[in-house]
Structure 1
Amino acid sequence: MKKLYKLLVFNILIAIVYSCSVKKDAFLNRNFHALTTKYNVLFNGEQAYQKGLEEIKEKHEDNFWKRLQIEPITFDDKIIPTAAVQPGSGFGESEEEEERNLTSFERAEDKARKAIETHSMNIDGYEKNRQIDDAYLLLGKSRYYQQRFIPAIEAFNYVIANYPNANLINETKIWRAKTNIRLDNEKLAIESLKFLLEVEENEKELPDEIREQAHTALAMAYQKTDTVQKVIEHLAKASEIFKNKEQASRDMFVLGQIYSELGRKDSARMVFNKLADNKKAPYRYRIRSNIELAKNTPNDSASIVVLARLKKLIKNSDNRKFLNALYYQAGVLEEGRNNTDKAVKYFQKSLNAKNNNDYQKTYAYEKLGNIAFNKENYLLAGSFYDSVLQVTSKEFDQEKRIRRIRRKNKGLTTLRKHEELVKNNDSILKLVAMSPDERTSFFEDYIEKIKNEDEERKQQILNAQNFGSSFGGGASINNSANAGKWYFYNTRALGFGKVEFEKIWGTRPLEDNWRLSDKSTIDDISVSGDDSNEEKVNPRYELSTYLDEIPTDKNEIDGLIAGRNEALYQLGLIYKEQFKNTDLAIKNLERLDKLRTDNNLELPISYHLYQVYNEVGNQEKAIQYKNVILNKYPETSFAQIILNPNKKLTEEKKEDIVLNKYKELYYLYKQNKFEEVVNEIDSFMPTVNNSELIPKFALLKALATGKYQDKEAYKKALEFVAVSYANLEEGKKAQEIIKRLNK
């Protein structure tokens, strides 16, 4: 009996050893290697491959503001693909250590290669292991996702050439076509896929999964060739099959986006509406389809239905991670229906949504900026446009939309600077114009106001000192009888306390002196530790603190007036030329015309007001300023433009004389004859009625003045140039010098 048992075991071992051979074409050998390949090596390879797909899915983030990629993967062109196993690797390392250093796709490739090397049964030119074609397909797909497209093509070609009757032959052809698309061989890919769909379908009907994959790949290929109509055709066919729910939903979504880009709003709405109602589609595509549906809805009765649909989605707590986009699109619809206040609230909610991204924020900030701009609240609009630029990443920094906002905001930044200058100088000049009694009364009222505010802050600090005991803190901390009942261990009391705290203090950051919203007053309102009996007087409460700051020097006051007048002139030009706001342009230029104390700006102010009034149709005012130019400045270029608007101005011959005179005076300036330069310019300039060199003479005079007179005279001469020729290079140069002098 024992001998029989030993003989049986021996025969089994012989059979196992015999079946391990890859050189014998026997039933046992074929099935042994097929089973070992499928359920051992390939199984582990497939697991690693699936893990790699999950990693790609997690890393890839779709930007639904732009057309989605048909294949949800982003290849980095900067990556130089390398082989999974480098030469010399593996020596002195265990298999586990090697695999630990490989990516998921590298492990999948390694397993596929191991299956081929270990279990391939190529006998007389024919592969007897039916799992080897699967191994080659896995090998090619793993290389594809590593961006090693040439080796991937080699693997796919080997299957197609050597396993023409394999079960996965059609899938392999599709993968080869996709790889060719990545290699910019889209024409070759199109030919092979068309052959697959047209010829193979005539011989035998292809499975739905294969047809869906082929149409999707064809759409990718035609997208590379910018053949939009073909992209639409194949995306539509792929989405009709709807076997792979994820990819089919994506194909349908991209199809809707293309329709929208082409202006075919009806077709886009039909696609997005169908996708939104398709319960088989992944939820994120259904929600995004509702948003896209709203984007493509005109401002008519249909928008009311879509808006109601969005509001219903907003109320659903399952949609919290989509609230930023839902709120934004609801705001767009409300804005389209002229409900601006509601739109603003929705845009603000979009910005405050918990799940948000910076690119989404740029659109909400832009909308808020546009609304403020249209309401002529330019300062607020500028702050919103600033926010757009702050949250814009480098990836989108050069977008046409962002560049347009940057240009628009540049003008608003200049405008804000001038508006603040006018406001500041006006307030100072108003104090200068007051009588001593009026100044005293004004600042006494102000001091009384800040005293009351400081008293309120002190009271808040005193209230805060009892904050702990008010909610059960203090003595109860060390009281053993109250173990486990401390305020901060009681969630109900903690929640109540938080609400009460925010009612009193609002939202405060965790920092020192958190009780004070204005940290500048901390030294003024804190209790001093000084033991001195001498009472300290807060300078903020002293009348002299403010009265002493009011300028009394005439040159300083003149500088304030000149700065304000220059800012008013620049504001008038900005509103007239950049923002086309004729009302504000007239307001600033008219005010400047009344405030000016000399005639230096009369000509440009009159000309700009003539143009603005002519534009708004106020002929009476236009004629008034036209007469000022024609009567007082008949030889100027402005007068010639008015008299001959369609005729080009010809250069006067005496321009050469003026140029020669400028060169002569500049030579004197270089010889340090500064006083002579100033006197020559004063005597020569009245003879020049119209010349492009006048600003240069003015700047040269200012520079010469600064060489032999005091600083105040120098600044006054420069201010004249800066105000008179603010838009010219000479005016800007003078302004730069003034800034350096003021430092």
Structure 2
Amino acid sequence: MGRFSPRGRTQVRTVCGLLFLLVGAGLLMSCGRGSFIGRQYDDLTAYYNTFHNATQAFESGLESVNESGGDIDRTRYLSVFPPPQGGAGQSSFEEAIQKSAAVLREHPNSEWVDDALLLIGRSRYYQQNYVGAVQKFREAIALEPEREGEARFRLAQTLVVAGRYREAAEALRTGLDSGEEYGSWAARMRVVQGELLVRQENWAAAEQALAQGLNDNLPDETGARAAFLLGQVRETLDNPEGARAAYRQVSGYDPPYPLAFAAKLAAVELGGETGPPGRALERLAELERDDNTREMRAEIARVRARLHRAQGRPDRARQVLTAVLRGDQAPRGSGKGRTHYELATLYRDAYEDFTRAAAHFDTASATLSPGPDGGTGAAEAAQVLPRAPSDARAQADRFRKLADRSQAVARMDSLLRLGRMAPTEFRAVVEKIRQRRLEEQEARAQRTRRQPRFRGGRRPAAGDASPPSAGQPAVQTQGADAGFLFHRDPTLVQQGRRQFEQTWGDRPLMDDWRRAEAIRGRPDARPRAGQTEDRVRPQSSAGSSTAAGVVDVSAVPRDSISRAEMKDQRAVAQYELANALFRAAGRPDSAQTWFRRVLDETPDHPVAPQALYGLAQAHRAQGDTAAGDDVYRRLISEHPDTPIARRAREQLGLATTDEAPGRAVSRADSAYARAYEAWRSGRHDAALRAFLTVADAYRETSVAPRALLAAGVVYHRTARHDSSGQGRARFTHYADSLARADAPWFATAVESIIRRGGPSGALASV
């Protein structure tokens, strides 16, 4: 079959048209299909009767696919050849397949056979029938070499989208190493190779392939997307200058506005990281225009906030982020989630406000979807940049627990400060609190009276809502899509859940649970420590004014015994906060402060050895090995017989020879006797601490279970009449702090004592 270049095909069609005019249809029909004129006639009728219509149908479907594009997600690696969207232009692609198949069936000897094969393959590709597309592209490669370059490119492109990476790599190797001159198709194959290597996370090879492809002739859209992907790869390789150059290269390909905007924004952000942030802020202002979308405005706000943070202006960064969240055109979907995530990191890192950080992380986790907006397939959904906010849920859980511990310590600090006040000063503070509550209640009542009533009037529009007050949590923003009374707002739901758990714990979700638990004798039916029945009972609106004028001071430790008990509880809470800062939040510097507070304020508490060990680890985590070793030696010196001291010796590389069993038992018996004497003399709190210390320090001896049992008895005898529940809370805190050690019998015994409220049948044996 004769072959022609595209220009030759045009000439053939022109010649055949002239033949029609000069010779007439009768002369052409007299020529056989095997003759030259017959072949030209076959080509002409194949094109005008069938293939031309097939091409028009395909172009119509392709327009529908191209119209489905949207904003660029800078947190995900951009696909140079975006996978097709399901449903777009399907009928048009099916028509193109049918008409191209007619060419193969009715004109098998025409020059349009390879074109028809490629058109069927491309149509199946956009129908997401990748198996069928691969088959047709392979047939086109085997047919004739003229269209081989395009066929090999489209074959590799389809295999990459289908996730058949090994076959794609082989197809690209065969095509690029063949020595054939494929022109611009070779450049496109290089770009496909770069995208394949990105999916395989082979960053250096991906950079090389993309750069080689961009050195040759590429279509504008392909070149712009390839340059953007090259910028992202260079960011991953920590090459900000190279990334900026790639992003600036995007504009040379006349890209669509969303892609041009994303490239300019990325270049500005990198400029702020490597150069003066002030100059980057000036360039950022140039990007702002009246016709950008809410998603683009949110992107600009997030970059501006990062630049302000780089300047050491966290307050300005917070104002920028909260303003965009509270604006009339606030971001939605993943844009909203990323903005909340940015605000959460600001509260976490700049302010160490873990409560607000947890709330914003929680909101971000509820709005950030696992795939990109208008997702383009599971394969691309997994391709996120290292800086992408993909851990919002884990961060929310981590910092919610950290916030609870921080609030617990702050609450006990405040209560102890109130407890140490002189009576006159204490009464003055309580009166000041009462007056402030009354003023707040009156302000709320005035705001309620100013709100328009629904009955007999219209419902307020979304834009009628007044801006949040200064005292409102920053996370409570843009609730227009949160439902009536914001019942679907994820942040408010999360805050409500935390407040409920702090008040009621993990009580059963059933009616009359308190009465049922009281009948069974469970202590959970009583108010929690520091709470009275009036404090935890829900109050009606009728009595709200009276309740606002009453300040509950039952939790304030006004005597020395209560203050000592709360100091013990605070020591455990401080240790838990320090440990969470070190292990969960990765903040050894902040953890050091709290470990030292435990050691400075309560050096004799049972948790002090753990605080020393944690302090040593925090020093080492910051690279100060000498300071860490000094703390390990202090731990060994002050608590030589504890298991944690043996761990300190291991950290120092010292020999850990075990103490003779008889000597250990003798020392344990002596310590037990001193604790027993403290109990008999009426010093119950000191006895409880001493018994627990014996159980912890000598847990490998037979004295340890006996000491733990004695601690349970002390708790049982002293706490049975403790209606406030403070004794039980104290023992639980002590036991929990000791149960962290690896001793199965210890944890089991603690749980048994707490569950039973004390082994009354074993009193005589202690």
Range of TM-score over shorter length: 0.5 to 0.7
d(CA) in 2 for partners of 1:610, 1:237: 52
d(CA) in 2 for partners of 1:282, 1:361: 25
d(CA) in 2 for partners of 1:258, 1:406: 27
Aligned match of 1:172: 151
TM value normalised by structure 2: 0.63
Aligned match of 1:579: 587
d(CA) in 2 for partners of 1:302, 1:259: 21
Gaps of 5+ in 2: 1-23, 372-380, 473-477, 497-535, 670-686, 758-766
- Deviation string 1:602-631 (CA, Å, 9 cap, x unpaired) is 6656777799899999x99x999988985x
Gaps of 5+ in 1: 1-14, 77-98, 478-486, 489-493, 527-535, 663-678
d(CA) in 2 for partners of 1:701, 1:429: 29
Amino acid at match of 1:566: V
- Preserved contact between residue 210 and residue 226 of structure 2 (Cα < 8 Å): yes
CA deviation after TM superposition for structure 1 residue 438, in Å: 6.8
CA deviation after TM superposition for structure 1 residue 272, in Å: 2.0
d(CA) in 1 for partners of 2:741, 2:96: 68
> Within 5 Å, which residues of 2 pair with 1:549-564?
562-564=568-570
SS at the partner of 1:568? helix
CA deviation after TM superposition for structure 1 residue 650, in Å: 1.9
Amino acid at match of 1:172: A
TM value normalised by structure 1: 0.65
Identify the match of residue 401 of structure 2 among 408, 411, 414: 414
CA deviation after TM superposition for structure 1 residue 568, in Å: 2.6
Aligned match of 1:728: 741
Distance 1:230 1:435, change over 3 A: closer
- Deviation string 1:371-426 (CA, Å, 9 cap, x unpaired) is 64244444444444444444443458998776877666655333322222234445
d(CA) in 2 for partners of 1:130, 1:425: 87
- Preserved contact between residue 344 and residue 358 of structure 2 (Cα < 8 Å): no
> Within 5 Å, which residues of 2 pair with 1:501-516?
511=484
Distance 1:653 1:354, change over 3 A: same
Residue 134 in structure 1 maps to residue 115 in structure 2 = yes
* Matched length: 632
Identify the match of residue 58 of structure 2 among 39, 49, 55: 49
d(CA) in 2 for partners of 1:20, 1:692: 107
- Preserved contact between residue 369 and residue 380 of structure 1 (Cα < 8 Å): no
Aligned match of 2:167: 185
- Preserved contact between residue 422 and residue 564 of structure 1 (Cα < 8 Å): yes
Aligned match of 1:369: 345
d(CA) in 1 for partners of 2:89, 2:291: 42
The alignment-based identity, stated in percent, is 19
Distance 1:406 1:559, change over 3 A: farther
Identify the match of residue 101 of structure 2 among 82, 88, 113: 113
Residue 314 in structure 1 maps to residue 288 in structure 2 = yes
Residue 250 in structure 1 maps to residue 260 in structure 2 = no
- Preserved contact between residue 610 and residue 626 of structure 1 (Cα < 8 Å): no
- Preserved contact between residue 272 and residue 290 of structure 1 (Cα < 8 Å): yes
Identify the match of residue 73 of structure 1 among 70, 73, 83: 83
Amino acid at match of 2:262: R
> Within 5 Å, which residues of 2 pair with 1:429-508?
443-464=430-451
Aligned match of 1:540: 547
- Deviation string 1:145-176 (CA, Å, 9 cap, x unpaired) is 345445434434444544556xx454334334
CA deviation after TM superposition for structure 1 residue 190, in Å: 3.0
Distance 1:101 1:726, change over 3 A: same
Aligned match of 2:10: none
Aligned match of 2:673: none
Aligned match of 1:96: none
- Preserved contact between residue 20 and residue 33 of structure 1 (Cα < 8 Å): no
- Deviation string 1:199-249 (CA, Å, 9 cap, x unpaired) is 347xxxx5xx54544443454566678776665455345434555211111
d(CA) in 1 for partners of 2:331, 2:186: 38
- Preserved contact between residue 136 and residue 159 of structure 1 (Cα < 8 Å): yes
- Deviation string 1:616-664 (CA, Å, 9 cap, x unpaired) is 99x99x999988985x7565567788899541322234189969x99xx
Amino acid at match of 2:587: F
Distance 1:572 1:172, change over 3 A: closer
Between 33-42 and 265-274, report the one with greater CA deviation.
33-42
d(CA) in 2 for partners of 1:658, 1:19: 116
Residue 648 in structure 1 maps to residue 655 in structure 2 = yes
d(CA) in 1 for partners of 2:36, 2:256: 46
Aligned match of 1:568: 574
SS at the partner of 1:649? coil
CA deviation after TM superposition for structure 1 residue 539, in Å: 3.6
Identify the match of residue 310 of structure 2 among 322, 333, 336: 336
- Preserved contact between residue 31 and residue 38 of structure 2 (Cα < 8 Å): yes
- Preserved contact between residue 739 and residue 747 of structure 2 (Cα < 8 Å): yes
- Preserved contact between residue 273 and residue 289 of structure 1 (Cα < 8 Å): yes
CA deviation after TM superposition for structure 1 residue 308, in Å: 1.9
CA deviation after TM superposition for structure 1 residue 293, in Å: 1.8
CA deviation after TM superposition for structure 1 residue 262, in Å: 2.9
Aligned match of 1:79: none
- Preserved contact between residue 190 and residue 212 of structure 2 (Cα < 8 Å): yes
Aligned match of 1:152: 133
- Preserved contact between residue 366 and residue 388 of structure 1 (Cα < 8 Å): no
Distance 1:336 1:268, change over 3 A: same
- Preserved contact between residue 416 and residue 566 of structure 2 (Cα < 8 Å): yes
Aligned match of 2:247: 272
- Preserved contact between residue 607 and residue 626 of structure 1 (Cα < 8 Å): no
Amino acid at match of 1:110: Q
d(CA) in 2 for partners of 1:225, 1:460: 58
Aligned match of 2:377: none
d(CA) in 2 for partners of 1:155, 1:576: 59
CA deviation after TM superposition for structure 1 residue 464, in Å: 4.6
- Preserved contact between residue 566 and residue 723 of structure 1 (Cα < 8 Å): no
SS at the partner of 1:287? helix
Distance 1:562 1:286, change over 3 A: same
Distance 1:337 1:605, change over 3 A: closer
d(CA) in 2 for partners of 1:422, 1:455: 31
- Preserved contact between residue 294 and residue 333 of structure 1 (Cα < 8 Å): no
- Deviation string 1:267-306 (CA, Å, 9 cap, x unpaired) is 3322222323x27233233222222323443645565444
Distance 1:437 1:586, change over 3 A: same
- Preserved contact between residue 582 and residue 612 of structure 1 (Cα < 8 Å): yes
> Within 5 Å, which residues of 2 pair with 1:61-100?
63-73=73-83
Amino acid at match of 2:307: L
Amino acid at match of 2:404: K
d(CA) in 2 for partners of 1:242, 1:16: 44
SS at the partner of 2:271? coil
- Deviation string 1:579-610 (CA, Å, 9 cap, x unpaired) is 2226632563156428xxx7645665677779
Instruction: Decide which structure has the larger Cα Rg and report it.
Output: 1
Amino acid at match of 1:256: G
Distance 1:547 1:339, change over 3 A: closer
d(CA) in 1 for partners of 2:249, 2:693: 78
- Preserved contact between residue 555 and residue 712 of structure 1 (Cα < 8 Å): no
Aligned match of 2:297: 323
Aligned match of 2:265: 291
Distance 1:563 1:498, change over 3 A: same
Aligned match of 1:481: none
Question: Larger RCO: Structure 1 or Structure 2 (Cα < 8 Å, ≥ 6 residues apart)?
Answer: 2
d(CA) in 2 for partners of 1:392, 1:504: 27
SS at the partner of 2:297? helix
Aligned match of 1:673: none
